[in-house]
Amino acid sequence: MSEANFLPNPVHVALLDRSYDIQFYWNVKLIAEAISAYAPENIVIISNSVVWNLCGESLEVALNQTGVKTSVWLMGDGEKYKSVETASAAWDFLVEKRFSRKTCIVALGGGVVGDLAGFVAATYLRGVSFIQVPTTVVAMVDSSVGGKTGVDHPLGKNLIGAFYQPRLVAMDLSLLRTLDRHNLQGGFAEVIKYGVIYDAQFFAWLETNLETAMALEPEAIAHVVRRSCEIKAEVVSQDEQESGLRAILNFGHTFGHAIEAMGEYKETQFHGQAVAIGMACAADMAVALGRKRPH
């Protein structure tokens, strides 16, 4: 059966006047149409050269065909570029080119590009419109949804940033095919996290179908990405700024961030892999402390 048969319905993130949809496609051209419906006059695409070479030009051409004007700003690839220095270089580009408040920033890439571009959108001219086009599993199921944007500080991850919701999240599931195995595994750690923290039935489904989903079989990966987005949307809609419930999404992240910091954010250590190890550490610690699930 063709991929088009497994086109999930959009997921709505309900946040009053900051509400938005998460849309799923198998084709980058349809993303361009979805973006153009938000009618930005000018788009600045922020990406990196790896992602740009995979799909950037197709997205830009498709956007131009809808009549939208585009500019492109490419950042370095890797967590070490999720920094205030990179944000500053992006601000320089936007200021020098005199982009107005009607500009929309489109983040095309994984979680690093999404977090950085979202922070730039939140701060340029006190906030311009922002759209997420995630291209990794981590970004599709987690970082593009919920409005956490920011950069790392030398003393810790994600310490500088803003809650700033996108106007739209639109993704092309076929882009996952170019991810390497480590990157995919890291992304699936975040997926398994949703099963553990929120949905026992989803966890049981993953126990049976993990290999099929990781092989990117269309029906399975579409289910995984949509259900993960749905869970994230439900949690964020109840607690946008992490005053309570949203903290469950950080399961495994305290240990995970420490592992990333010890590894000095090298490219060999993906965020999701650190989270996977972190979840195992947190679970072991809970057992050692005799913690039981409340009834």
Ligand X SMILES: NC(=O)c1ccc[n+]([C@@H]2O[C@H](COP(=O)([O-])OP(=O)(O)OC[C@H]3O[C@@H](n4cnc5c(N)ncnc54)[C@H](O)[C@@H]3O)[C@@H](O)[C@H]2O)c1
Q: Is residue 274 within 8 Å of 187, Cβ to Cβ?
A: no
* Binding flags for ligand X, 232-271, as an x/- string (CB under 6 A): --------------------------------------xx
Interacting span for ligand X (CB under 6 A) from 98-106, 143-151, 193-201, 278-286: 143-151
The answer to whether residues 228 and 191 touch, using CB atoms and an 8 Å cutoff, is: yes
Q: Is 206 helix (H, G, I), strand (E, B) or coil?
A: helix
The site map against ligand X for 11-50 (x = CB under 6 A) is: -------------------------------------x-x
User: Of 23 and 144, which has the nearer Cβ to ligand X?
Assistant: 144
Task: Tell me the site size for ligand X, rule CB under 6 A.
Answer: 32
Tokens of 65: 């065909």
Amino acid 114 reads G
Q: Using the rule CB under 6 A, is 79 a contact of ligand X?
A: yes
x-or-dash string of contact with ligand X, 96-115, rule CB under 6 A: -------------xxxxx-x
Q: Which of 25, 87, 148, 256 binds ligand X (CB under 6 A)?
A: 148
**Up-side HSE of residue 26: CA atoms within 13 Å toward CB?**
14
End-to-end alpha-carbon separation of the chain, Å? Answer: 43
Q: CB–CB of 191/231 below 8 Å?
A: no
Among the listed ranges 57-65, 138-146, 213-221, 237-245, the one in contact with ligand X (CB under 6 A) is 138-146
In the window 194-233, what residues touch ligand X (CB under 6 A)?
A: none
Catalytically active residues, by annotation: 126, 148, 190, 232, 242, 246, 250, 253, 257, 271
All residues at 6 or more sequence positions from 27 whose CB lies less than 8 Å from its CB, including other chains: 172, 174
Pair of tokens at residue 83: 């920094």
Structure tokens at 105: 């920033």
CA 200 centroid distance within chain: 23
Size (the chain), residues: 295
Tokens of 117: 């571009």
Evaluate whether 272 touches 187 at the Cβ level (below 8 Å).
yes
Stretch that binds ligand X, among 29-37, 57-65, 90-98, 137-145 (CB under 6 A): 137-145
Q: Considering the complex, what minimum distance in angstroms separates the CB of residue 237 from ligand X?
A: 15
82: contact with ligand X by CB under 6 A: yes
User: Closest-CB residue for ligand X?
Assistant: 111
Helix and strand numbers (H, E) in the chain are 11, 9
DSSP letter, residue 142: I
> From the CB of 140, what's the least distance to ligand X, in Å?
9
Tokens of 111: 């979680």
The nearer residue to ligand X, 207 or 267, going by C-beta atoms, is 267
Q: How far apart are CA 143 and CA 122, in angstroms?
A: 15
Stretch that binds ligand X, among 22-30, 173-181, 199-207, 286-294 (CB under 6 A): 173-181
| Chain residues that interact with ligand X, rule: CB under 6 A | 48, 50-51, 54, 77-79, 82, 109-113, 115, 135-136, 138-139, 142-143, 146, 148, 157-158, 175, 178-179, 183, 186, 270-272
